[in-house]
Chain A
């Protein structure tokens, strides 16, 4: 158990705790939070006023843009937090305007699929057409002889295929491009952080062909509207999303043969025949039922059994798609494949014959379960406070989750206005994910959202492709999972690439800070960069190394001059060369350990 609040032990602290409690009470009332003076420090918070500003921008936003620190300081950290908790009150016209360039973002899965058919499907269609057109000899080839090439794809069709592949690839990248761009430019930063959190909590995988087309719809309709809303609503929207239904195979889960369904015997047999002819597994599939409890709600130690998994799977039979996964479709309940028998789940009896209500009741039960409150609170505290979540804060967030029936905004308010959130130990305690690293670098340099896939691909290359995690657990949220030899090398090279002007949208020569610092002496440059990129707060060693400049001895060290360090001839433009060593400093600062943390 981490020692999280050393202050809460000695005598004088008792008074402090009382004050904190009052302060917490005040901040929990939305209107009074704004009334709080911008300058008065909230008692119980260990971080300095400046640290609080940087901390809030690093955790509740994807880092500070130029000017953000001053804005938040002027408005007061608590007022800014309150504003961010209500994204609907924040105007974000520029982002909305920017997003209109991506047509697939507003499409349903069916529309998406119709417009950009999978290349394999198109290829088969073309080949079938040609076969029908008589290009292929109809008779059998003598056994044992070598057949010539059978179906040839014409040059015109090759071009069609290639174009279709490109269009599909471009369309498929739009969602990742939009996610990245939103994180860079949106004014609703906490909303974007929450989308990142929930999309990862309810992970789906774009590499699964049946799932890929539904993910834009998933993020738009299941994740975004509920990111700071009701957990039960979020859970329900995810459960009925074609993305999750296909990803965890729920759409194929049907009553085991021999079980009574809600259809006549004849209908049930027909349903099973359909399933058989479609080569689907016949019977229940536990995948979704298991992950629903293990990953989405109760947690692996949340007190459910294998029997519960099977019973939940039975309850959810019939939750499927209106058409096959390959044809586009939406959620539908199919009584003819629903297991109509009675079930017993987590100690509760589910009477026979309730149909879709079985599943709804399962979700109600899970959303309201004490293990779920604790599990979600723990994950949120881990994400927003520390890899080792302070137990007292988890407990308070759990209580709020339960009392508010899973009101995510209220749970968040408890966490991000807490003393633990603003503790010294929490400052820079989290390691940035590749997504957070790239986006925060772009924001720090006043970058514009990148409309091309380049930035999203950079994030993917660093190990975090958006919707590219194949397993249902989502990406990890602790430092030890993200930091290893290869990863840290990528991060250093990323920093140098940013300094070499290769982060799309974030050009050094368009960065106001660069314009003012480039002609200054080294000391001023280093201090200015430390302020702009590292929150004004680095060790003496770091500052000394940044300052050391073209130290002749360092330059002779073997690491710097070896042949395996490829030179990048395009890296430095003439303009950059006039910047007096400044680009390299930017590269070092972003490649430095301090910038890897938030």
Chain B
């Protein structure tokens, strides 16, 4: 509808401007709006700075946990006042009390934690480990692209034989710049907010004239992308971001992270063809004064879980077609350090959320234990699940990606190594 309106008024404008008929023809030809079928969406959320997995999904059944962390440990559910101890999941693991919004999701089978998961690389550098998690090629610096982009680039954009180009919002990163995980050949839109995706002028006809400038001239990449911009803005306008209201009960925090997740929900609910979304949140590098049930880490976890839970509530039934995957570059030392914090460790924890998961009310992965001889290099949680097992299962079973060898080079994605996060058929 919007398109017709533009076509009509645009064409008239051109006639009055005395522009060449070829311009008019191109304008008409160029109007095919991308088809945006309602498909699957994967949302990846990166906790930058190495979240302390042992205080996120708390192994309260491990005596060694309490020995190693006299000041930081979260008490077992039965040994603390309500709201200050771990939230029991299965009698051994519990959620940090600040993750209480996750408990009902766990009970409903919408959220599954994965423990002792991460990169097989030995690096304890944030930079390197984030790089490896996003390239999905541990210990290989030379990989140019991120695995999410390789998925996009290797999977055909149109399932049902459509001839139109993919939606401009197929891959969206709610970040200032395109993150490493989305670097690569497939087009990606990175933006801080939906409001940013607009022509910013003080009214008047600047946008219309820019559109005309890009719709005329030779058919090259600059003009083509310029024309796409206006198509994309029309799509967004139908989403009407300024008037969006989340559903009742979806209480996004006012934090930047919460607001970004709300905008991801908007895009999904507007059917603009969003297939892969990304957002990140910092503040996890808790070397000093990490806190226990309360404190620094608890605050981060509160914002994190409220934001994610609001997103799930907001998406409602659409969660059936959505998987949310949280990740952090590595875990932290089992022992607390000299400044009431923890240092860089090894394996970590992830959360997988979806309306159609293959596992319910379980903590997935293999628990390696926290006794000294069970630790990685005598100090860190050992790794029992390669992050690529999780990534490849989600890529294959949720998104339907089939070029797993291209998406995860040097890694043999084997269904028997998968955790059963998603139903196999």
Contacts and interface: CB of A to CB of B under 8 A. Distances in A.
Contacts of A554: 13, 17, 205, 208-209, 212
Given A127-B288, A281-B122, A496-B201, A141 B70 contact: yes
A146 interface: yes
Nearest to A463: B177
A485 B189 contact: yes
B71 A548 contact: no
Contacts of A587: 201, 206
Interface stretch (B102-110, B220-228, B408-416): B220-228
A500 B84 contact: no
A472 B131 CA distance: 12
Contacts of B204: 550, 555, 560, 584
A276 B12 CA distance: 75
B70 to A, nearest CB: 4
Interface stretch (B151-159, B232-240, B301-309): B232-240
A131 B122 CA distance: 31
A144 B201 contact: no
A545 B216 contact: yes
Interface residues of A, number: 94
B298 to A, nearest CB: 11
Contact of A550 (B10, B191, B205, B211): B205
Given A290-B142, A486-B189, A493-B199, A150 B71 contact: yes
A489 B70 contact: no
A562 interface: yes
A245 to B, nearest CB: 14
A208 B217 CA distance: 43
A541 interface: yes
Interface stretch (B39-47, B249-257, B262-270, B289-297): B289-297
Interface string A135-146: 010001101111
Interface range, B side? 35 or more
A563 interface: yes
Interface of B is mostly: loop
Contact of A584 (B20, B76, B206): B206
B177 A460 contact: yes
Contacts of B19: 541, 544-545
Interface string A558-598: 11111111111101100000000000100110011100110
B103 to A, nearest CB: 19
A566 B5 contact: no
Nearest to B216: A541
A516 interface: no
A444 B23 CA distance: 29
A147 B70 contact: yes
B376 interface: no
Interface in A222-251: 248-249
A471 interface: yes
Interface in B112-128: 122-127
A151 B296 CA distance: 12
A542 B206 contact: no
Contacts of B147: none
A431 interface: yes
29 contacts: A128-B338, A144-B76, A146-B80, A208-B125, A248-B141, A471-B180, A485-B229, A486-B188, A488-B229, A489-B229, A492-B199, A496-B210, A542-B216, A542-B217, A544-B17, A553-B12, A554-B205, A557-B13, A558-B6, A559-B208, A559-B230, A560-B203, A564-B237, A565-B201, A568-B202, A584-B204, A592-B210, A592-B213, A596-B222
Interface of B: 2, 5-6, 9-10, 12-13, 16-20, 23, 66-67, 70-76, 79-80, 84-85, 122-127, 131, 141-142, 144, 168, 176-178, 180, 183, 187-191, 195, 197-214, 216-217, 220-223, 225-226, 228-230, 232-234, 236-237, 240-242, 285, 287-289, 291-295, 338-340
Shortest beta-carbon contacts, A-B, top 9: A541-B216, A150-B340, A553-B13, A560-B208, A486-B189, A147-B71, A127-B339, A143-B66, A557-B208
Interface of A: 120, 123-124, 127-128, 131, 136, 140-141, 143-147, 149-153, 205, 207-210, 248-249, 279, 281, 287, 290-291, 294, 431, 460-461, 463, 465, 468, 470-473, 479-480, 483-489, 492-493, 495-497, 500, 539-542, 544-546, 548, 550-551, 553-569, 571-572, 584, 587-588, 591-593, 596-597
